[in-house]
Structure 1
């Protein structure tokens, strides 16, 4: 157990699996009291049990962040109540990734993706910032994506939502920084859970050939960046998008 987030409280949305789970576990390992949140109570309970078994503090809050302001405000209210009135860190991680091509995207799909990926974190952030400011400050970490800047086929809808979140990161840093609330983002690249030994290479490996890292990343890589942004070590960091992508977007990729 570390102490970089000792005595801090945190809410991580969409943290019942993958990147969100890794962030919640990493926060708890650094001393934070973490609220694991998501739609699946069974998976959330398993994450909480694992954190507690490792000596950390965690609770689960079921939430379906459908984009309505009411759902976001409800989660914010329950989070503050569970944490005794103070929330120090919010990680806007929850998201959906249907990836139809533009010509095959219907209005219902468009609205759902924007509701979950943009509207929900927008109203959740609005709901938690006043309390953070009142208690002396806080940190908000958004999840962007490498495909917000490096396009892939059939990624227009999803990548546009992540571009919106990276833009909101900078806008919110300007808006909330004077209130003591830092806002930054992590932009993951091709991130996969570790594959079983002897398993076939994942198609994502092809996308990472020729990059400095030479292969895909794991959720822990994103979690380490999130811990730093949430900690006092990043106290002078505002409006920054930290690329955790193995060099995929920042370095010329030369195919072998």
Structure 2
């Protein structure tokens, strides 16, 4: 996707931090937010891919910078929060997506997934939300998954961490929204990302996508559009909500 040469104004004057934005849903979200006028802090582990995301934004007239961070490392999280500075929008998108039956799941991967998918958004939110509260406004969007609501073999760890993130959304909304900070979740269905295809394989992913009402994989941009909506003032009366962007898979 290429951005329009004309940068919009919907998010003008706002700073957005998008974790895991070196590819997939995160990169598309970063591009859309930059196209809407936000200054975007792109974050991830791969500096080369991060630079490519930033370049795609700046070449289209947007503003972005890259901050490398391994979100399984609490010290790296602190450095990311400091480097980002005060933000208006936080998108907790970065995640690890392990696939293994419960009896075969190794403890190391379990711990790493809990660290990336639960501890990282928890600590990053705790570090950045005070500035939002002081300002009296802000939007936090957590990225979950439809498998937080349905049981699928081999995804016990991933689904459990995302269910925890949805629970945090509700608690954080109760804690922060009276001060003007909205907190919401988008729960995508099967999406054509490198992470999904690497874990499931393209054929399996395509077959699984056929179980949705629309019968296909989502494009990363389709999910990014929902994230942009939740982050924007168009969703000004939404907080504590989880929006299912899963082609109806959890509706029937």
TM-score by length of 2: 0.91
Map 1:190-229 → 2, pairs under 5 A: 190-193=190-193, 202-229=203-230
Q: Is the 8 A contact 1:12 1:91 kept in 2?
A: yes
Q: How many angstroms does 1:235 deviate by?
A: 0.9
Residue 127 (structure 1) aligns with: 127
Work out the CA distance in 1 between the residues paired with 2:25 and 2:211. Answer: 24
> Structure 2: how far apart are the matches of 1:213 and 1:3?
32
The structure 1 segments of at least 4 consecutive aligned residues displaced by more than 3 Å after TM superposition are: none
Which residues of structure 2 form unaligned runs of 5+?
1-6, 195-201
Partner residue in 2 for 1:248? 249
Partner-residue secondary structure (3-state), 1:227: helix
CA distance in 1, matches of 2:81, 2:211: 43
Q: Conserved in 2, the CA contact under 8 Å of 1:144 and 1:187? A: yes
- Structural mapping, 1:46-61, within 5 Å: 46-61=52-67
Residue 211 of structure 1 deviates from its aligned partner by: 3.0
1:72 aligns to 2:73 (yes or no): no
Q: Map Cα deviations across residues 39-97 of structure 1 (whole Å, 9 max, x no partner).
A: 111110011011001111100001111152x33222111101xxxxx310000011111
User: If the length of structure 1 is used for normalisation, what is the TM-score?
Assistant: 0.90
Structure 1 vs Structure 2 CA RMSD: 1.6
1:83 alignment partner in structure 2: none
For the pair 1:28 / 2:56, whether they are aligned, the reply is no
Which residue in 2 is equivalent to 1:100? Answer: 100
Q: Check if 1:10 corresponds to 2:11.
A: no
Q: Is the 8 A contact 1:5 1:230 kept in 2?
A: no
Gapped regions of structure 1 (runs ≥ 5): 81-85, 195-200, 252-256
Which residue of 48, 66, 72 corresponds with 1:42?
Answer: 48
CA gap of 1:155–1:175, structure 2 versus 1, over 3 A, is same
From the superposition, tell whether residues 202 and 150 of structure 1 become closer, same or farther in structure 2 (CA, over 3 Å): same
